Amino acid sequence: MLTHDDIKNALATVKYPGYSRDIISFGLVKDISIASGAVTVLLQLTSPHPEAARQIQEDAERVLKGLPGVNQVQVEVRPPAAGQGAASPFANQKGIPGVKRVLAIASGKGGVGKSTCAVNLACALQKRGAKVGLLDCDIYGPSIPLMMGVRERPTVNADERLVPPSNHGVKVMSIGLLVTDDQPVVWRGPMITKTIQQFLLAVEWGDLDFLLVDLPPGTGDAQLSLCQTVPLDGGVIISTPQEASLGVVRKGIAMFRKVNVPILGIVENMSYFTAPNGERLAIFGHGGAREEAARQDAPFLGEVPLFTEIREGGDRGLPIVVSTPTHPASQAFLHMAKKLQDGFSNPAK
């Protein structure tokens, strides 16, 4: 005999278009009725996307018609409730207790200094008086523990939650703190998703003004897992000036916009190099990220020049913002941190 559970299990195979989660887990199924082999399902969307509604309806009808004992199917897909106006299926997510803002630090490709920027931005925000956490979501290549000079493992409190270690006034969590040195993480996507969810929701972050999340390059499992788990307050895109980097930056921007995550700004890293004789050399070009920000109608947070001291600080676990706050690179990061804070204090109307 056909049951409601049979219907739910079938609908759980229907993915929301463009995402890895299904319409059951998103809470879109509002009513199911069964009468003599006739199945009626009511779905309520949280985003006004007609194409997504059509695709969901077709997929739901297809899987339900394939169930034994079903001879008639009616799937009604309703638009968002009046006043809801959400642009993302993640509209009903709950935040992390005690964490005011969650910011993603992302890049389209590797090698642009994203983690270096994440570390120094976190320390810059802390120096400006904010309570800051830094989560390393690069499961395959975690570098945050090295750059932050954190070696101790997280502890477990009485509530069986991980307590992150801290250094330079910033709380840090990374898979690199849970595995032995040089041990590779050979995982498939579902394990990455589960780990990131635990890092966000099973860690005792405490009271934070900002939790910065250092993402791996690209638009894969880690990025989607983050977007699906907690509501993001915005994304910061790190790029270098050349077109090879900017081309994939556009994909990252498109991904964030697709899931209704505001772009807080674009950073041009490795913007230029100042030779010993004072000559400024544009090794990777110059100004490309600023121009791209203008094209994307996104804020431009600033330029970070090439300095040996930045790399040395990362290798020693002593970010340049901490070791030499007056250095030009430190001043660039502190200026960006101020822009981020000001953006939340005085949001554009």
Tens digit of pLDDT at every position of the chain (349 positions): 889 889 999 998 998 876 656 788 778 899 999 998 899 999 988 766 777 888 999 999 999 999 999 999 999 998 876 555 444 555 555 678 899 999 989 886 667 888 999 999 999 999 999 999 999 988 777 889 999 999 899 899 888 888 999 999 999 999 888 876 665 554 555 676 677 778 888 899 999 999 999 987 655 555 666 666 677 888 899 988 877 677 777 877 887 777 678 889 999 888 878 777 777 787 777 778 888 888 888 899 999 888 889 999 999 999 999 999 999 999 999 999 999 999 887 654 3
CA torsion 289→291→293→297, rounded to 10°? -170
Phi-psi region of 278 (alpha: psi -120 to 50; beta: other; left: phi over 0): left
- Amino acid present at 262: P
Reduce the DSSP state of residue 284 to 3 states and report it.
coil
Cα separation of 94 and 45, whole Å? 18
Query: Where does CATH 3.30.300.130 sit in the chain?
Result: 4-78
Sign of the torsion angle spanned by Cα atoms 28, 85, 78, 13: negative
Please name the residues in contact with 90: beta carbons below 8 A apart, sequence gap of 6 or more: 26, 227, 228, 231, 259, 260
| DSSP calls for 286-339 | SSHHHHHHHHTT--EEEEEEE-HHHHHHHHHT--HHHH-TTSHHHHHHHHHHHH
C-alpha distances out from residue 154 to 47, 150, 216, Å: 39, 10, 22
Edge to edge, the sheet with strand 72-78 lists: 29-35, 38-44, 72-78
4-78: CATH number? 3.30.300.130
pTM: 0.70
Reduce the DSSP state of residue 145 to 3 states and report it.
helix
Query: Where does CATH 3.40.50.300 sit in the chain?
Result: 102-345
Q: Which of 228, 303, 295, 306 is nearest to 263 (CA)?
A: 295
Q: Which of 92, 94, 93, 86 is nearest to 46 (CA)?
A: 86
* Burial of residue 142 (number of CB atoms within 10 Å: 0-12, 13-18, 19+): buried
Contacts 24+ apart (CB under 8 A), 81-88: 81/44, 84/46, 85/48, 86/46, 86/47, 86/260, 87/47, 87/48, 87/260, 88/46, 88/47, 88/259, 88/260
CATH class of the domain defined by 102-345: alpha beta
Please state at what angle helix 288-295 crosses helix 243-258, rounded to 10 degrees: 30
Cα separation of 21 and 17, whole Å? 9
Please name the residues in contact with 288: beta carbons below 8 A apart, sequence gap of 6 or more: 239, 240, 241, 242, 243, 245, 246, 268
Number of H helices, E strands in the chain: 11, 14
Which DSSP symbol is given to 281? E
Q: What is the pLDDT of residue 126?
A: 97
Q: What is the pLDDT of residue 128?
A: 96
Cα separation of 172 and 145, whole Å? 8
Q: Tokens for 61, please give them.
A: 């009808």
